[in-house]
Structure 1
Amino acid sequence: MRTLVAYASKYGATEGIAQRIGTVLQDKGLEVEVRRCEDLDDVSGYDAYIVGSATYEFNWRKAARRFVRRNVDELAAHPVWLFSSGPVGTEQVDKNGQDVLKAAEPKQFSTYADLLHPRGMQVFRGAFDHEKLRGSDRLFAWMPAIRDILPQGDFREWPVIESWAASIADELQPVR
């Protein structure tokens, strides 16, 4: 089963998640390619697709959105899963009592649900390092309020990511 894990990452946390998903799928016997969305022109020839992006202000990165738009027919014709990374910190619920991961779903999840009919959509916690910020993002890093809202650290929950990837691999395994 030839599977593509396509991702859009700004500072590397989402790339790390995509790589880990690819490793789990490969360890389960699937043929896997892990590639950046912006590096992909032709995505035909795969049996399944996993597409993920970092989320900023409730939106996937442009490269991921463009990737889906360009390849919507191919993606919709095969099994597809979507993931997002973004929330940092360890809180389970936000100040309004909502589940943090549910509240962090990108707008694209609802749009792509109708277009692609994904078999699963998952939000994962991300990582944030104030020192890695560049460009206009660096301006925000020095604001005390931003440092309070965006705690620094790697909050990716590897067992959760690996379990999700393993469930995909199990679903893609041929019946014996």
Structure 2
Amino acid sequence: MTRNVLVAYGTTNGSTEGIAEAVAQVLRKEGLTVGTAPAGTVSDVTPYDAVVVGGGLYAGRWHKDARRFVRRNARALAERPVWLFSSGPLDPSASERDIPPVPGVQRLMKRLDARGHVTFGGCLREGAKGFVARMIVRNGKGGDFRDFPRIEQWAARVAGEITRV
């Protein structure tokens, strides 16, 4: 049976979109039909059998588009398997240890009965949008801390769970 999966994401500077695309690529390799979209553009999740939602972390909060997407679609999301991911730490900590979801994401997980959550490192480079982001880069604290082998391993586990559902 073909499983249709949505990978929706909230991002400001594109780092979370890159993670979402990597997740989608693995899901496709596992034989799933996958759509990816910015969370703010998705109006209906009912065509999908499962959903993965990712959000960049900004000052300890999930990206507003990811939060709004979950709130807007909470009823439909609660009826299907959902996995969440966050991206954000601008250091190698996310690759070195499991980082729990921030409190707002924990509440969303409970509300949706989400199957799982993982935090991946983020990426912030020259040309980033936002005053704070530009200051972080200017002060030498930016960089790319996304661990694509870890992202791909997580996505493969998600794919395995989807195909067993």
* Same-fold status (TM-score > 0.5): yes
Q: Which residue identity is paired with 1:120? A: G
SS of 2:86's partner is: strand
Could you tell me which residue of structure 2 aligns to residue 173 of structure 1? Answer: 163
Aligned counterparts of 1:3 and 1:18: Cα–Cα separation in 2:
12
Could you tell me which residue of structure 2 aligns to residue 109 of structure 1? Answer: 105
Q: Decide whether the 8 Å contact of 1:101 with 1:125 is kept in 2.
A: no
Aligned counterparts of 2:134 and 2:22: Cα–Cα separation in 1:
31
- Cα drift, residue 106 of structure 1: 2.4
Q: Decide whether the 8 Å contact of 1:101 with 1:124 is kept in 2.
A: no
Trace 1:55-94 onto structure 2 (pairs within 5 A).
55-91=57-93
Runs of 4+ with deviation above 6 angstroms: none
Could you tell me which residue of structure 2 aligns to residue 22 of structure 1? Answer: 24
Aligned counterparts of 2:92 and 2:54: Cα–Cα separation in 1:
21
Gaps of 5+ in 1: 94-98
Residues 139, 76 of structure 1: alpha-carbon distance in 2 compared, 3 angstrom cutoff = same
Q: Which residue identity is paired with 2:122? A: G
Aligned counterparts of 2:86 and 2:133: Cα–Cα separation in 1:
23
Aligned counterparts of 2:112 and 2:70: Cα–Cα separation in 1:
9
Q: Which residue identity is paired with 1:116? A: L
In the TM superposition, what whole-angstrom CA distance separates every residue of 1:96-149 from its partner, at most 9, and x where no partner exists? xxx76526x3222210122001111000011121x22234336634764xx4xx
Aligned counterparts of 2:59 and 2:97: Cα–Cα separation in 1:
14
Gaps of 5+ in 2: none
Of 148, 154, 160 in structure 1, the residue corresponding to residue 150 of structure 2 is: 160
Aligned counterparts of 1:83 and 1:15: Cα–Cα separation in 2:
12
Could you tell me which residue of structure 1 aligns to residue 116 of structure 2? Answer: 120
Residues 55, 92 of structure 1: alpha-carbon distance in 2 compared, 3 angstrom cutoff = closer
Aligned counterparts of 2:55 and 2:99: Cα–Cα separation in 1:
16
Alignment partner of 1:44 is 2:46: yes
SS of 1:111's partner is: helix
Of 124, 129, 132 in structure 2, the residue corresponding to residue 134 of structure 1 is: 129
Aligned counterparts of 2:79 and 2:131: Cα–Cα separation in 1:
39
TM-score, normalised relative to structure 2: 0.89
**C-alpha root-mean-square deviation of aligned residues, in Å?**
2.2
Q: Which residue identity is paired with 2:75? A: D
TM-score, normalised relative to structure 1: 0.84
Aligned counterparts of 1:44 and 1:29: Cα–Cα separation in 2:
20
Q: How many residues align?
A: 163
Structure number with bigger Rg: 1
